[in-house]
Structure 1
Amino acid sequence: MNRLHYQIHEETMYIVPVNNGGYIESRVGETYGGGIDCRLNPNKLIERNCRNHSQNYAARKDLTKTLTGITSKLPVILDLFGAYIYFCTHSDRIAENNWFNIRHVQSYWNDGGMTRVQFSNNEERIIDISYASFNNQYLNALKLHYKFNQQKEKYQKKEMNMHFQYPTLGRGEVAQINETIYHSYINYINGLQIKDEV
């Protein structure tokens, strides 16, 4: 079945391009079952999924630049909490782009000038990109993962300090403080995005 759209979830491993009569579409690999075809090209599918998580693709790229200093072929965090981090093999100006969920890349190695990737379900795919380039993109995604989690830890420490400072608060008051911390975090992330746009 060829879908118009596909919702990325925790079992999504990769999105690769497929030429369908001159149109670039997507083949999505999941940890179970066969591949799923989607009529959107891989870049459009990533953009649409950013919107599904109330995010903007351009803002997600800006967040990556701010956190990591990476300026090209940017990995992106699709969701607000960093559960879905994807990296690409080419510029997002090229429709024939491959996107990989960092959590499902088990190993990869050189295969005749290209890269063979093994995923978490032991499926293997040969990708038309050199090992050095693939490795660089993978390491960029790891850097994004690390930097994003550093930011999350800072806010978790603040939350722990709030609980320590107010040990006698009632359950409703603690919930209000947690809500305030959550909104402070959202404002911080949005502030990073706005600062980069200026």
Structure 2
Amino acid sequence: MDKQRRTLIEEYEVNPCTLMVKPTLYGSKLYARIIEMEDEYISPFKPLDIIKKSCEYFGSSYEGRKQGTRTLIGITHKVPITIDPVHFIYFFPTTSPNNNDCIWISHENVLSHQRVDSQQTLVTFRNKKHYTFPISSASFENQLLRTALLRTKIMQRLEETERKAYYFSRTGRYMEASESHHLYQSEGRPFKH
């Protein structure tokens, strides 16, 4: 895409249209290049800062999301991040997030991938656009699988919570805590709630 078509923005949270957040040199500084389905932006923040701000936007800290991943699937390095499970926004890093070359990729938007050579992988996104990443095909596949496992675990937890809520609402278990059987005083006379 033309540099002229890239928009410089201050605020950005990843969303369902975000394909990736990658580092780019802007002058002498490291900025984030954000590629969406149809748009492209440059942010004065580093890619990891965009991921952190996005976690906060959806109500959690990056460290909290990392700890959640560790707890759910036991991953401690190159940890996939749940940014917003409701809208299936899960991102994974291509290398250590503290590495200035780290690119964050949207799991939901990856359509397919193939090996280019021992250190590069060609990725096709849902919008049919292709990008080559400096990551081996085996490592890319591993990151995809780790993120899929994280998504599955979170979906299982959400479904289990829904089942419990449905069970409690259908069996009246919440009614035991209800005050509907108590008498109240109103203007000097008792009434049932």
- Which band: TM-score by shorter chain? 0.7 to 0.9
Which residues of 2 match residues 120-135 of structure 1 at below 5 A? 120-135=126-141
Residue 51 (str. 1) matches residue 60 (str. 2): no
Report how far residue 95 of structure 1 moved.
Answer: 2.3
The TM-score, its normalising length taken from structure 2, stands at 0.81
Partner SS for 2:84: coil
- Taking only the aligned residue pairs, the percentage that are identical comes to 26
Indicate the structure (1 or 2) with the bigger Cα radius of gyration. Answer: 2
Letter of the 1:46 counterpart:
I
Partner SS for 1:103: coil
Report how far residue 79 of structure 1 moved.
Answer: 2.6
Task: Tell me which residue corresponds to 2:28.
Answer: 22
Task: Tell me which residue corresponds to 1:144.
Answer: 150
Structure number with higher strand proportion: 2
**Residues in 2 aligned to 1:156 and 1:99: alpha-carbon distance in whole angstroms:** 31
Residue 6 (str. 1) matches residue 25 (str. 2): no
Task: Tell me which residue corresponds to 1:186.
Answer: none
Report how far residue 29 of structure 1 moved.
Answer: 1.3
**Residues in 2 aligned to 1:140 and 1:22: alpha-carbon distance in whole angstroms:** 34
Taking CA–CA contacts closer than 8 Å with sequence separation of 6 or more, which of the two structures ends up with the larger relative contact order? 1
Which residues of 2 match residues 169-184 of structure 1 at below 5 A? none
Contact 2:66 2:81 (8 Å CA) reproduced: yes
Task: Tell me which residue corresponds to 1:106.
Answer: 111
Could you list the runs of 5+ residues in structure 1 that have no partner in the other structure?
174-198
Structure number with higher helix proportion: 1
Letter of the 1:72 counterpart:
H
Match of 2:159 among 153, 157, 175: 153
Contact 1:82 1:148 (8 Å CA) reproduced: no
RMSD: 1.7
Which residues of 2 match residues 54-93 of structure 1 at below 5 A? 54-79=59-84, 81=86, 83-93=88-98
Contact 1:53 1:80 (8 Å CA) reproduced: no
Q: How many residues align?
A: 168
Partner SS for 1:29: strand
Could you list the runs of 5+ residues in structure 2 that have no partner in the other structure?
1-6, 179-193
Residue 119 (str. 1) matches residue 147 (str. 2): no
Q: Provide Cα deviations, 1:96-144, integer angstroms capped at 9, x if missing partner.
A: 2111111100000101230000000001100011111111111110010
The TM-score, its normalising length taken from structure 1, stands at 0.79
Contact 2:83 2:90 (8 Å CA) reproduced: yes
**Residues in 1 aligned to 2:74 and 2:59: alpha-carbon distance in whole angstroms:** 24
Contact 2:16 2:87 (8 Å CA) reproduced: no
